[in-house]
Amino acid sequence: MIDSSFSFVRIIVMKTALTLLTTFLMASLAPLSSAADAPAAKTETATIGGGCFWCVEAQYLLVKGVKKVVSGYAGGKTENPTYEDICTGETGHAEVIQIEFDPAVISLKEIIDLFWDAHDPTSVTKEDMVKHGKLLPKGTAYQGNDYGTQYRSAIFYTSDEQKKIALASRDAAQKNWKDPIATEIAPLKKFYPAEDYHQNFKALNPNQGYVRAVVDPKTEKFKHTLEEKGKIKPAAK
Residues carrying an active site annotation: 52
Handedness of CA 17, 22, 23, 24 (dihedral sign): positive
CA 126 to each of CA 121, 129, 137, 163, 180: distance values in angstroms, whole numbers, following the listed order? 14, 9, 9, 27, 12
Provide DSSP, 159-227. Answer: SHHHHHHHHHHHHHHGGG-SSPP--EEEE---EEEPPGGGTTHHHH-TT-HHIIIIIHHHHHHHHHHHH
